[in-house]
Structure 1
Amino acid sequence: MTDSQLPPRDEDGATTGPYPEDDDRPVEYETVQTPVLVVGAGAAGARTAISLAEAGHEPLVIGKRDHGDAHTTWAAGGINAALGSLDPEDDWTIHAADTLDEGHFINDPTAVELTTQEMPDRIRELDEWGMGLDRTEDGKVNQRYFGAQSFRRTCFVGDRTGEAMLEALVSKAQGLSIPYRENVMITRLLSDGAAVHGAVGYEMESGEFVLFEADHVVLAAGGYSALYNRHSSRDDENNGDGSVLALEAGASLMDTEFVQFHPTGMVEARYGEEWAGRLVTEAVRGEGGRLYNASGERFMERYSPDQMELDARDVVARAIAREIREGRGTENGGVYLDISHRDDQYVKDRLPKMYERFADLGVDITEEAMEVAPTAHYSMGGVDIDFETGETGIEGLYAVGETVAGVHGANRLGGNSLAETVAIGKLVGEHVAEQVDADGELPATARALAEREFRSLERLGGAGGTERPQELLDDLGDVLWEQAGILRDESSLRTGLRELEALRERTTDLRIEGDRTGRDFEFAIDLSFSLTLAEALLRSALKREESRGAHYRTDYPDVDPDWRRNILVDAGDTGLTLRTRGVPDPSEPVQEAVEEGYELDYHHLE
């Protein structure tokens, strides 16, 4: 297969697309100057901005949606910290060991250890900021079991933890008067491959172009799990934009083949298209929920008799997929998740959002089971960074949160996504604050690049072909689900790459209805990011000839010790290029915790 291309760019780097070039007439745009631009308004972006503000700087945070409406709110079940509220023997080294074990030891050890050491203080901080964490009878922060954790380590606010956490962070940010702009979409970073000078995008409600002049840009724009046609994200989020913005600016991506398939997504045939793949939080299983097939067998007894439903997410997801594939699933293509054996009030208290959601659908989960099946949920891959600083290797460009790779390795430990955002976000914000100097003047080359990008976006808005962007995105989701889903092999991945090229060909005939405030225009930009990230994913999955964590190759079903390496992706002159890098060993205290072999005994819940 020949090297494929990144989205079309002219010789100066602006997007071109298949549309006729206009002359270099003047283009109207707003110019905004800020010392630090934070792209993404979820937990990672908010915590980074808080550190900057506390250091005396005034970052500008921008988001694609309304203020406070970020994907963080969809993280329901909890956030990890080794507090020892219920299990005093737990500590940060065991948390780190669990994280490395779940990540199959290709995590960045520095990232893991920074996160797990930071988290007890970050939980206490969030508590002080009004997160409202659930408490034990004696007033301690309560903690629950989550899959593959050795102890009860997951702090929570019922089953709305992410929502409560973001509310606390937004309130803190507002108290610090951190500027925020909502409904802004970034289409390109202004980078010469060595340094970043800002970013360009447009106001989604007015269609007006905006140039952000900034010597420091922090990407906190989420992951790429929504590339799959069955996923737990909103359709217009987690499409890889943060990672691809960094890649096109000159940074490297890492571990893009690792996408976590959460075991329990809602089944479309049972609950309707609106609910297809929507997450049924792991908190249901953490509170004792049981999985049954259509024959009433509690099938995890066959796959994981010790950890049962609380084994690693990849293990449980593959078990469910196998039950369905071998004909033991429901007629709707799922299995049953049952919490009805627990006391009714307990379920309502611990899982209020799940109770209310299913009640609205005519299902009383205190009396009957839910139908679930695996769903694409989280991307372990992303931008390769130095975790002590957030630096990407491009001067002035940083990344944090699900936009980056390293903390989670080959599979994410449940409850660690929220943890990473605040633990690393605080550290990155503190480091960037030390780098901020007087505002520099925007180089003429960067302004010229911005104006070429704006003219390119104008041409995109006038596309009059036959292919609608949403249909192409839907087809891309089908390709990834079928060819690079829970089970993969060389044949399926090569088929996926061929089908991806066919989709790229179809983009030469795009049709954009409406103006720049419409969804067609937004989806067309999403499509450019998504196609690039999908290629990185497929090519990395093809290169990794083993099975590890969430990456399961049926033609290479075993873990290969020689593949304890990360795959990095760069934007070469003729397309994406791949290379590998070895993984350092953890510190001695964490290695000792790994060797101790701590493990959850599920039957404590019985």
Structure 2
Amino acid sequence: MELEEHAYDVVVIGAGGAGLRAAIAAHEAGARTAVVCKSLLGKAHTVMAEGGIAAAMGNLYPEDNWRVHFRDTMRGGKMLNHWRMAQLHAQEAPDRVRELEDWGALFDRTDAGLISQRDFGGHRYARLAHVGDRTGLELIRTLQQRTVALGIDVFMECTVTRLLTDDVGIVGAFGYWRESGRFVAWQAPSVVLATGGIGKAYKVTSNSWEYTGDGHSLALQAGASLVNMEFVQFHPTGMVWPPSVRGLLVTESVRGDGGILKNSAGNRFMFDYIPDFFRKETAETEEEADRWYTDKKNNRRPPELLPRDEVARAINSEVKAGRGTDHGGVWLDIASRRSPEYIRKRLPSMYHQFKELADVDITKEAMEIGPTCHYVMGGVEVEPDSQAAKVTGLFAAGEVAGGMHGSNRLGGNSLSDLLVFGRRAGVAAAENARNRAGRVRLADDALTSAARAALAPFEREGGENPYTVQHDLQQTMHDLVGIIRTEAEMKGALERIAELKERVANLSVDGHRQYNPGWHLALDLPHMLLVSECIARAALERQESRGGHTRDDFPTADPEWGKTNLICSRGPGGDVGVRRQPLPQMPSDLAEIFEETA
């Protein structure tokens, strides 16, 4: 077997915000570090995060602080967040933003010259540091520049298919070059997963092609566990027309800067969907909501800025009630609220996106939008301070890690999550590598097994087409494990997934190993199926509605379920099991925050 081998202290899988920040931290801690990414450096899905980085810097509202940010994050996640992760995130986010600025990030400024901060749903104060509506792009540009300047090795257009372990823990990873199909292995005592999400398991998604759930699956197969996989966030505003861009994200900044939601009758419907949990701080009349934009300190927030799960469910309800647009969405209108100059300055990417892709001038017309699969709150179960998984030497940060966001992520918290926990994962991975230096090696039989599994689709003739199986999986998840769920539908989904497993075992691809998209998909499909099964089983088990998980047959939140996490693990035979685990107990000094900010 022809195999290219490398040895490092830390291998980071994924070159988005979490992966690059982890690599920088590991390198600065003295570890020989490599980054492996599916696409070109700088093309990670983080570039699509448009609105901003949530951090309680107090640049617009001096009364903002980490305690208020912590409270907002916990309440947005319906109190199912791991309290320690939410605490660390709120406390450290401002320093991570200032660090980016020190490294060259060019943030928008206030009149006083401070980093500007904008409003987003679920945040009490305007706290999103931003660069127009291209914040993710600037974040990646800055981290990429620093990664290159530090001389960190980057393996671009390279896919990891298996994590390698021994009796103690991680010893490395196995993968292939996407262009040539040649195999490559990395010997390393520490691996950081920063692979992002699972959106390509769904038919309508804002996620890029890389988001196949491979990090979740790799961790599960290596012996780690996943937490709360039932919580999938459907961003309320994705493009619904034309079909070629259905699901493409429309940033929450549109609503943060004054955009309102209307149904097909022209009614501003969000006033009908304010939950009791948020009623005290949400405007209940149009006059009160409109006044908020000019007098933000003394007025309640518009209902368009409720947390994403609330807005997505409201839009879904309007469409189901027959009050949607011709293409199955609703209208998002900023043209009647802001001047063309304001829109083009504050939302340049949105203006360009709709103009070029949908022939819609958002300075003159409303946008046709609807919910799109956007983010998974569930992920690898990690120790909050170090991001260490249950397998020695394995770490996870960013969207692939679970616990931080509870049952629903607030907008803007993803980018600060990447920075805070990417850094922590990198530091801890370097420390683990020092402790296990010289104790890991790659076993020949493990490498041979990984290569044999990767080549299997070429050795079958007349098998299933990978694209057909992917289409059927996406349709299954869209129809049966989508934004509104029922027991019967999820049981049906699990039956279909079982059938799809048999079909995946019979996949065949034509051609050769040189850049072969069909082969790449054939290797991604087992990951997507495993993650889809975890989502469906956990969603079936959780008999309540909370955050990104809505059960039509259990429409309210249950206090007992509010104390419970669901843990997915893989048995010896490969079967997915789900067990209940008590939520970590919050210390009394943090619990007091909810009283002082009531």
Q: How does 1:331-410 map to 2 (within 5 A)?
A: 331-340=326-335, 341-360=337-356, 361-410=358-407
> Partner residue of 1:190?
164
Paired letter, 1:253: L
* Correspondence for 1:519: 517
| 2:179 aligned with 1:221 | no
Which letter maps to 1:368? E
CA distance in 2, matches of 1:81, 1:331: 39
1:539 is matched with 537
Q: Which secondary structure does the structure 2 equivalent of 1:561 belong to?
A: coil
Q: 2:548 aligns with which of 544, 547, 550?
A: 550
Matches within 5 A, 1:79-118: 79-118=53-92
Q: Structure 2 counterpart of 1:566, which letter?
A: N
Residue of structure 2 aligned with 1:202, choices 176, 181, 186: 176
Counterparts of 1:193 and 1:493 in 2: how far apart (Å)?
37
The answer on whether the counterparts of 1:122 and 1:423 sit within 8 Å (CA) in structure 2 is yes
The answer for the alignment partner of 1:290 in structure 2 is 260
Q: Work out which of the residue numbers 469, 472, 475 in structure 1 matches 2:472.
A: 475
Aligned with 2:235 (options 229, 251, 262): 262
How far the C-alpha of 1:121 sits from its partner, in A, is 0.5
Q: Are the equivalent residues in 2 in contact too, given 1:201–1:209 (CA < 8 A)?
A: yes
Query: Quick one: distance in 2 between partners of 1:393 and 1:121?
Result: 29
Structure 1 residue aligned with 2:322: 327
Equivalent position of 2:572 in the other structure: 573
Q: Distance in 1 between matches of 2:116 and 2:236?
A: 25
1:443 to partner: Cα distance = 4.2
After TM superposition, list the pairs within 5 Å mapping 1:140-179 onto structure 2: 140-179=114-153
**SS at structure 2 position matched to 1:85:** coil
Task: Supply the distance in 2 between the matched residues of 1:491 and 1:145 (Cα, whole angstroms).
Answer: 40
Name the SS for the 2:68 alignment partner.
helix
In the alignment, is the contact (CA less than 8 A) between 1:192 and 1:249 conserved in 2? no
State the distance in 2 between where 1:313 and 1:258 align: 13
Q: In the TM superposition, what whole-angstrom CA distance separates every residue of 1:352-392 from its partner, at most 9, and x where no partner exists?
A: 00011112132110110000010000000110000211211
TM-aligned CA deviation for residue 456 of structure 1: 2.3
**In structure 1, distance between residues paired with 2:172 and 2:441:** 10
CA distance in 1, matches of 2:594, 2:197: 28
Compute the TM-score of the two structures, normalised by the length of structure 2. 0.93
Residue deviations 1:307-331, cap 9 Å, x none? 4110011110011011111100011
State the match for 2:211 in structure 1.
Answer: 238
CA distance in 2, matches of 1:191, 1:40: 19
Shift of 1:459: 2.4
Shift of 1:116: 0.8
Given the superposition, is the C-alpha separation of residues 51 and 118 from structure 1 closer, same or farther in structure 2, using an over 3 Å criterion?
same
CA distance in structure 1 between the aligned counterparts of 2:125 and 2:440, rounded to whole angstroms: 52
Can you give the 5+ residue segments of structure 1 that lack an aligned partner in the other structure?
1-26, 599-606
SS of residue paired to 2:581: strand
How many angstroms apart in 2 are the aligned matches of 1:194 and 1:492? 41
- Give the Å deviation of 1:474: 1.6
Alpha-carbon contact 2:504-2:526 (below 8 Å) kept: no
Q: Deviations over 1:228-258 (max 9, x none)?
A: 1100012x22211001101110111111100
The whole-number CA distance in structure 2 between the counterparts of 1:370 and 1:578 is 41
Opposite residue 571 of structure 2, the aligned amino acid is: G
2:269 pairs, out of 295, 299, 306, with 299
**Counterparts of 1:133 and 1:164 in 2: how far apart (Å)?**
8
For 2:43, the aligned partner's letter is D
Aligned with 1:389: secondary structure? coil
Match of 2:223 among 250, 255, 275: 250
Q: Give the corresponding residue for 2:277.
A: none
Task: Tell me how far apart the structure 2 counterparts of residues 83 and 555 of structure 1 sit (CA, whole Å).
Answer: 42
Q: CA deviation at 1:193?
A: 6.2
Deviations 1:536-562 (A, max 9, x none): 110000000111111000111111111
Describe the superposition over 1:205-248 as per-residue Cα deviations: whole angstroms up to 9, x where unpaired.
Answer: 110001111111111111112211100012x2221100110111
Offset, 1:397: 1.1
Shift of 1:403: 0.7
SS at structure 1 position matched to 2:140: helix
Contact 1:96-1:590 at 8 Å conserved across structures:
no
Letter in 2 for 1:277: G
Candidates 504, 507, 513, aligned match of 2:504: 507
Determine the C-alpha separation between the residues in 2 that align with 1:290 and 1:49. Answer: 40
Identical-residue share of aligned pairs (%): 42
Partner amino acid, structure 2, of 1:347: I
Tell me the CA shift for residue 344 of structure 1.
1.2
Structure 2: gaps (5+ residues) = 275-281, 284-301
The 3-state SS of whatever aligns with 1:436 is helix
Which AA in structure 1 matches 2:557? V
Assess if the C-alpha contact under 8 Å between 2:191 and 2:429 holds in 1.
no
In 1, the alpha carbon distance for the partners of 2:107 and 2:192 equals 29
Aligned-residue offset at 1:477: 0.9
How far off its partner does 1:433 sit? Answer: 2.1
The 8 Å contact of residues 193 and 394 in structure 1, kept in 2 or not, is answered as no
Distance in 2 (CA, whole Å) between partners of 1:113 and 1:349 is: 34
Aligned pair partner of 1:316 in 311, 318, 324: 311
Q: How far does residue 173 in structure 1 lie from its aligned partner after superposition? A: 1.1
- Using structure 1 for the length normalisation, give the TM-score: 0.91
1:570 aligned partner, one-letter code: S
Q: 1:252, 1:188 → 2: CA distance?
A: 16
Query: Against the structure 1 CA distance between its residues 254 and 193, is the aligned structure 2 distance closer, same or farther, given a 3 Å change threshold?
Result: farther
Instruction: Give the C-alpha shift of residue 489 in structure 1.
Output: 1.0
Partner Cα distance (1:54, 1:286) in 2: 37
Shift of 1:396: 1.1
The answer to whether the Cα contact below 8 Å between 1:134 and 1:142 also exists between their aligned partners in 2 is yes
SS in 1 for 2:176: strand
Q: Is the 8 A contact 1:198 1:213 kept in 2?
A: yes
1:320 alignment partner, SS class:
helix
Q: Measure the CA separation in 2 of the matches of 1:470 and 1:131.
A: 40
1:159 corresponds to which letter in structure 2?
D
- Count, aligned residues: 567
8 Å contact from structure 2 (residues 204, 478) kept in 1: yes
1:101-121 C-alpha deviation (Å, 9 max, x unpaired):
011111111111111100111
The aligned amino acid for 1:246 is A
TM-fit CA distance, 1:593: 2.6
Per-residue CA deviations over 1:488-536 (Å, capped at 9, x if unaligned) read 0111110111111121222243231222221111101110101101111
2:41 to 67, 80, 87: 67
Aligned amino acid, residue 255 of structure 1:
N
Q: Is the 8 A contact 1:94 1:590 kept in 2?
A: no
Going from structure 1 to structure 2, the CA distance change for 1:216 and 1:31 (only over 3 Å counts) comes to same
